[in-house]
Structure 1
Amino acid sequence: MKRPVRVAFLLLALGFGAWAVAGQWDEIRAGFAELSWQALVLSLVAVVAALCGGMMTWRALLADLGSPLPFRSAAKVFFVGQLGKYIPGSLWPVLAQMEMGRELGVPRSRSAAAFFLTMPVQLGSGLVISGVTLLAALPGSAVPYAWIFLLIPVLAVVFEPRVINAVLGFGLRKLKREPLERPLTRRGMLTALGWALLGWTAYGLHLAAIIHALGPSGVSVVLFSIGAFALSWCLGIMTFVVPAGAGVREVAMVAVLAPVLDRGSAIAVALCSRIMIIIGDLVCAGFAGLAARRVTAPRGDAARGKAV
């Protein structure tokens, strides 16, 4: 990805992200006013950990398909590319990751496969962990959403590597692209699922920190928070046309939080969660870009010295 294009992409993504925040600024400010700085710090740390879990899920799939990337390089491609989710349309993140990955020797088809595989992995693991944690914390809270858990058996079949590889092969043939050099393995899929589950746990801790500052606390609330966040994400991700699920996930979260919070508090929690995730995206993208630059800069200096 050429530098002017990358700069334009980043400015556009940041602009849409700022617009999403500005549109609900009064409600957001009111919600943050009720949070202590300790809650904000804990929430942000948990968000960063959760985002890293998502990155490691994608990295595990990409490595299993034949393109293992060093942690810093993978972080830069993933986190900077993920800023594209704030731009209207669903393809900006994958296009950015394909172009940035190509600079590191990752074929575009492999980047696209890892990107599109990450979503069902997160969806399936999110449904599983939300079902388990909501059942353990507050059994009746999952009843209104029982229909979505019917997807779990379907996704369990999809997670079988032979099925995934056949679907990927069919899609690449239809697009007249070369087949993947390496098929996905069961070990790679389990590794990705493990990272995804850790990511959901961190997201739940992020939500629990906010809820604790506004009202209830305890182990059951932590378990409920893990399930509530994962379930609201799974509900929101089904609306692909909305940038980063803007609005949809918050509406779903308000509904899911109803058993433990009144409507006003639930709206405040959902909005605060949204902003913390936006901040986390920016923090991760910024640190990943700086870390990757520190790695590549000495090589460039060495190359210039050698040429002299």
Structure 2
Amino acid sequence: MKRLIRVAFLLVALGFGAWAVASQWDAVRSGFARLSWPSLVLSLLVVVAALGGGMMTWRSLLADLGSPLPPRPAAKVFFVGQLGKYIPGSLWPVLAQMEMGRELGVPRPRSAAAFFLTMPVQLGSGLLVSAVTLLAARPGAAAPYAWMFLLIPVLAVAFEPRVVNAVIGFGLRRLGREPLERPLTRRGMLTALGWALLGWAAYGLHLAAIVNQLGPSGASAVVFSVGAFALSWCLGIMTFVVPAGAGVREVAMVAVLAPLMDRGSAIAAALCSRVVIILGDLVCAGAAGLAARRGTPTGDDAGNDAIPGKAV
């Protein structure tokens, strides 16, 4: 039964991902026609690296909360679960991660805490990266989004482990759940932030590989691309009801790229970025699933010893 549910989840997620591409296919096709194969391959490779940074951000938080998963099973839980972001509604990824994590001995509240902590970590680091890079590349381009950057000090306070632990504890008490066995530490939070920053750098290089083919090139364009992607992602994540920020992120990206390139090229860059990221999600989910299957112990080797730090 669990296998059937998992297959159905994957099929639905893939269906919505395909719809996101097909709905804009003409524009996507014209954009890809202007890109060279080396730039597309480079863009996909750094997207995979960026997605890996996101996985390590989540894994660091989960380990700090008391469930240190080995890389292979952690990658499977994260990447397969993340396909749920293409399904309308904001809870599918966390539900998938909670169920797959439970099979590895991770308590559901801990999985949920790691998931919901990953969001503000990525949001805060993304806003910081976008503020620094946009101001460095084109100071005037950041002015329309100054209101977003006001959230940075608020999120900085929220990253204080004592604040985070108090909020998590309050939420669990309201839900009638037991408190987390291990509180979040400052070291764990800083490790997660470090991985998130590396992820943003890779995402920016992904967009730069596309922008350099459709508009201006050079170091300034690369730096600007990092900020443009981070800011558009932050705008997209605030629309929880839209699958993976579909549409919102592209509109925001076109607006942010306006000082760098003409509107037609900006639209092509945004749509090509969307397709490359979908491909990256599929590559990571598929590779993680295969790697986890090869690394799955059999016979007497199966059991709690397969997952260091497994919680019962």
Q: Which amino acid aligns with 1:91?
A: L
Quick check: 1:137 aligned with 2:137?
yes
The CA distance in 2 between the partners of 1:177 and 1:183, in whole Å, is 15
Shift of 1:215: 2.1
Residue 300 of structure 1 aligns with which residue? 298
Q: How does 1:82-101 map to 2 (within 5 A)?
A: 82-101=82-101
Q: 4+ residue stretches of structure 1 with deviation over 2 A?
A: 301-304
Q: How does 1:149-164 map to 2 (within 5 A)?
A: 149-164=149-164
TM-score, normalising length from structure 2?
0.96
Q: Does 2:195 correspond to 1:195? A: yes
Query: CA RMSD, aligned part only?
Result: 1.0
TM-score for the superposition, normalised by structure 1: 0.97
Residues 133-170 of structure 1 deviation map (CA, whole Å, 9 limit, x = unaligned): 11111111100000000000100110000000000000
| Pair 180,302 (structure 1): closer, same or farther in 2 beyond 3 Å | closer
The amino acid that maps onto 2:141 is S
Residue 21 of structure 1: aligned partner = 21
Give the aligned residue type for 2:222.
Answer: V
Q: Deviations over 1:98-140 (max 9, x none)?
A: 0000000000000000000000000000000110011111111
Q: Measure, in 2, the Cα distance between the counterparts of 1:215 and 1:253.
A: 14
Aligned to 2:80: 80
Return the letter of the residue paired with 1:146: A
For 1:195-236, what per-residue CA distance to the aligned partner results, in whole angstroms no more than 9, with x for missing partners? 000000000000000001112111111110000000001111
> What 5-or-longer segments of structure 2 have no aligned partner?
303-312
The DSSP-based 3-state class of the residue aligned with 1:67 is: coil
**Deviation digits for residues 247-269 of structure 1 (CA, Å, limit 9, x no counterpart):** 00000000000001100000000
**Equivalent-residue separation in structure 1 for 2:60 and 2:299 (angstroms):** 31
Asked if residue 185 in structure 1 is aligned to residue 209 in structure 2, the reply is no
Which residue of structure 1 lines up, in the alignment, with residue 36 of structure 2? 36
Name stretches of at least 5 consecutive residues in structure 1 with no aligned partner. none
Q: Tell me whether 1:246 sits opposite 2:246 in the alignment.
A: yes
Task: Work out whether 1:263 is the aligned partner of 2:278.
Answer: no
Query: Match of 2:298, SS?
Result: helix
Aligned residues: 302
- 1:291 is matched with 291
